[in-house]
């Protein structure tokens, strides 16, 4: 193995190195029994992050404008609890939030049915803690989803 090949495998990452050795990973969501594309397929990280930013922005706007009436410190204090409340209510009733709906996403259980209220409560709590949502598996599924047996899919 020459230096360029070793450096290339280091830059490409462990997945590329394993694929060079013949490992077959398949597409994202294949291990979960999800289709590769279209409705019901695993949502990509870009869509999920975009939806999260929309939801956080809307909640921040509400916290700043309605609850805190312009006081930035009070608005910051209310943003996370308000985000938790809004996300839980919308996910428990419709399976989607405003941001997820704009990006064409839905949170479901692994069997495709709507997530239960306990799943939604714990999933959203872990999402608010940030770290579980920032750690992904090879299907780009966050630990907050893995912990409760849910997945974000395209509508």
Q: Are 42 and 152 in contact (CB under 8 A)?
A: yes
Does residue 115 or residue 32 have the better pLDDT? 115
pLDDT of residue 82: 93
Instruction: Tell me what pLDDT residue 125 has.
Output: 96
At a CB cut-off of 8 Å and minimum separation 6, what does 152 contact? Answer: 42, 43, 48, 100, 105, 106, 107, 145
Each residue's pLDDT tens digit, 126-152: 999 998 888 988 888 999 999 999 999
pTM confidence score:
0.80
Tell me the domain boundaries of the chain: 28-154
What pLDDT was estimated at residue 65? 80
Residue 72 · residue 64 · CB < 8 Å: yes
78 vs 2, residue with greater confidence: 78
Read off the pLDDT of residues 64-94 as tens digits, 9 standing for 90 and up.
Answer: 887 767 677 777 788 899 999 999 999 999 9
| Long-range own/partner contacts, residues 21-26 (CB < 8 A, 24 or more apart) | 25/138
Q: Exposed/middle/buried for 105, CB within 10 Å: 0-12, 13-18, 19+?
A: buried
Residues 80 and 129: their CA atoms lie apart, in Å, by 10
| Average pLDDT of the chain, as a whole number | 87
Q: Is the predicted pLDDT of residue 98 greater than 90, yes or no?
A: yes
pLDDT for 101 equals 97
């Amino acid at each position: 193995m020459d230096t360029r090949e070793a450096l290339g495998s280091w830059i490409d990452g462990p997945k590329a190195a394993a694929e060079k050795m013949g490992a077959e990973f398949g597409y994202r969501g294949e291990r979960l029994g999800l289709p590769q594309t279209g409705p019901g397929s695993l949502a990509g990280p870009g869509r999920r992050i975009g939806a999260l930013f929309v939801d956080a922005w809307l909640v921040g706007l509400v916290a700043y404008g309605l609850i805190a009436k312009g006081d930035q410190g009070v608005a910051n204090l209310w943003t996370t609890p308000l985000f938790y409340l809004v996300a839980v209510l919308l996910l428990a009733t419709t399976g989607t939030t405003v941001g997820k709906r704009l990006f064409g996403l839905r949170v479901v259980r692994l069997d495709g049915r709507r997530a239960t209220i306990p799943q939604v409560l714990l999933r959203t709590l872990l999402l608010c803690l940030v770290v579980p949502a920032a750690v992904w598996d090879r299907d780009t599924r966050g630990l907050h989803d893995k912990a409760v047996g849910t997945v974000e899919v395209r509508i």
